[in-house]
Amino acid sequence: MKLTARFLNSRRAVRMPLPIFRAGFGWIFGGRLMMLEHRGRFSGFWREVILEVVERESKDALLIASGLGPNSQWYRNLREFPICRVNVGFIRRRDARAELLSPDESRSALARHASAHPATYRALKRAIVEATGDAEPDIPVVRLILAPARR
C-alpha cells in the first residue's frame, strides 16, 4: 500500500490536526480542512473527524466527501444523526444539519471539485483507489447546512 493510502487508513495520521482545531487555530488550514463533530450512532457520544471541504456552496453551506465510501464511520453516523457541529476557518462549533446527496449530485459535486483542483483531486482519488482497492470508488458527498451564528 502506498504512502498516501497508508496515511488515509492511519487513524493517528488523519487525526493530527484535531488539537489545532480544538485550540481554535483551524483557520490556518484556509478553509480547506474542517473538523466535523458528530454523534456516534450506537453510543450517542460526540465524535470528531478532520475532513476536506470539497466545495463552499455559500457562506452557510459546504460539501464534504466520504473518500473511503459509504461505510466511513462519520458518514454512517450522519446518516443516523444528521445534527452535527462544524469547525472551519474562523467558524467554531457551529451547529449544522447534514444532507446526504444522491449519487448523481455527488458525482456532479466531485466533478466540480476535480475541475477546480485537478492535481489535488487526482492525488486524492489515487489514494482512495489504493486504500479501498476499488478502481471506481463510490464517493458519497454530504451537504452541511450551517445554522445562523449565535449572537
What is the reported pLDDT for 126?
86
Query: What angle is formed at CA 69 by the lines to CA 39 and CA 79, rounded to 5 degrees?
Result: 35
Domain coverage including residue 105:
3-146
pLDDT over threshold 80, residue 1: no
Buried b (16+ CB within 10 A) or exposed e, 32-66: ebbbbbbbeeeeeeeeebbbebbbeeeeeebbbbb
Any idea which of 2-6, 71-75, 102-106 has the lowest mean pLDDT?
A: 2-6
Residue 73's domain is classified under what CATH number? 2.30.110.10
Mean pLDDT of the chain: 90
- The residue that leads in pLDDT, 114 or 12, is 114
- Whether 98 maps to a domain, the answer reads yes
pTM across the whole model: 0.88
Structure-block grid coordinates of residue 35? 473538523
Q: What is the pLDDT of residues 64-84, one digit of tens each?
A: 999 888 999 999 999 999 999
Instruction: Provide the number of structural domains found in the chain.
Output: 1
What is the reported pLDDT for 13?
63
Q: Give the position of cell 492535481.
A: 119
Side-chain half-sphere CA neighbours of 72 within 13 A: 28
